[in-house]
Amino acid sequence: MIIKTKSIKRVALSIIAAFIAFSGYVNALPIDAYNQYKQAVKQFRAKEYKSAQSVFAKLADEYSYAPAMLKLGVIQQKGYLAKPNYERARYWFKKASELDDPEAQYQYAKMLERGLAGEKNVEAAAKWRHRSAELGHKVSLYDLGIMYFYGKGVEQSIETAAIMLIKSADKGYKYSKSRLFTMKRLLNAEKEKGDAIAHYLLGTLNRKGYAGFRPNDADALKLYTYAAEKGVAKAQYEIAQFYYYGRGVKKSYKKAAKYYKLASDQGDIFAMKKLAVMHLNKQGGLSNKSLEIIPLLEKSAAGAHQYSQRKLGYMYLTGDMVKQDKKKAFDLLMAAAKQHDAFAQRTIGDMYQKGNGVTKDQNEATYWYTLAAENGDKDAKELLRRANNTNE
């Protein structure tokens, strides 16, 4: 089988950065509507589909709430109240997909690929799998990897296929782990030709212990070093991680900063974030007064890096190292909150609670505190507990 590959910058490495390009959709419901949704989910799980469907339909209609639309699609797809209605299922999956619900995108892509309740469109299926994969859906990552492996709906690329399957395996999907054995054989063939990304990917298989490898930092570092010298940004980032954490090598913040800088200069948003943090922590001889810090965080946040969005948002909220800008702060914090960042969710709750940069709104505050609490934020849990005690 002939495997086509594109250039490093145009495919494989850009795909890695794209995994967080879309932030998960969060449509703020009034707290009573949010509680209705949670109750309807319980009814759905208890197979009380008629009652659940009524609530989901109300929330979908009044609030365009994507999770409710997804559930409506599932009810129609599975025929829980009548015989399966693929046309209605496809309708709801499409609507929720457009609001960036990753599970809906996965289901909609399947219908497009199979031609259920409409014309078969493999290219469109690949598009929606990309969007779902970018939101971290492990089965979409696997399916997209298979599409790249066979060149189905996309241009065939063994390297991009491997990236998708590794990401899926990282999320515990067993079928991806099995497929990586085949990837290893093909990547080894590319490695023998001197392919830099194949070196990087085999390094990752070594480091993670996939495809029959035992986790081996020394072998991974050798493979990463070859790729880094050829200019592969992700390999440079991984080497920086080795030195930053002292993983298989003597810890060296100076060497870590060097490799983070190399990767950062190529646009790697993870390296940008780490370099900014090293500046803030004065590690490796870097200065916490450096003029590089804000641009690094700005670029990383623009690439949808959750930490950078949260950190920069809070800096704009408090006026730390930047001119205070509460609108910009809110936008950045909201972007992080949509990626389920608990601190950002609680901070947005605080903003609504106090009317700080936004119109004071207790319902919105309670909603965001609730999301933050469900994501493990202890301060948000305490705020909700006090609010409940006050209302009793």
Which pLDDT does position 389 carry in this prediction? 74
Which pLDDT does position 31 carry in this prediction? 86
Instruction: Please report, for residues 139, 173, 184, 275, the alpha-carbon distance to residue 157 in angstroms, rounded to integers and kept in the order given.
Output: 19, 21, 14, 31
The residues of the chain that CATH labels 1.25.40.10 are: 20-157
Instruction: Please report, for residues 12, 13, 14, 117, 151, the alpha-carbon distance to residue 123 in angstroms, rounded to integers and kept in the order given.
Output: 19, 21, 19, 17, 11
Q: What is the pLDDT of residues 33-49, one digit of tens each?
A: 999 999 999 999 999 99
Do 344 and 309 touch, CB atoms closer than 8 A?
A: yes
CB atoms within 10 A of CB 63: 16
Q: How many whole angstroms separate alpha carbon 268 and alpha carbon 279? A: 17
Q: Which residues contact 242 (CB under 8 A, 6 or more apart)?
A: 217, 221, 224, 248, 249
Q: Higher-confidence residue: 13 or 322? A: 322
The secondary structure element, H or E, covering residue 387 is helix 378-391
pLDDT at 371 over 80: yes
Provide the pLDDT confidence category of residue 29 given band limits of 50, 70 and 90: confident
pLDDT at 102 over 90: yes
pLDDT at 194 over 60: yes
pLDDT at 8 over 80: no
Q: Which residues contact 120 (CB under 8 A, 6 or more apart)?
A: 112, 113, 114
For the chain, count helices (H), then strands (E). 21, 0
Q: How many CA atoms does the CB half-sphere of 241 hold within 13 Å?
A: 18
The secondary structure element, H or E, covering residue 110 is helix 102-114
Mean pLDDT of the region 271-278? 98
Provide the pLDDT confidence category of residue 387 given band limits of 50, 70 and 90: confident
Q: What is the pLDDT of residues 54-76, one digit of tens each?
A: 999 999 999 999 999 999 999 99
Mean pLDDT of the chain: 92
pLDDT at 26 over 60: no
| Class of domain 20-157 (CATH, top level) | mainly alpha
Provide the pLDDT confidence category of residue 30 given band limits of 50, 70 and 90: confident
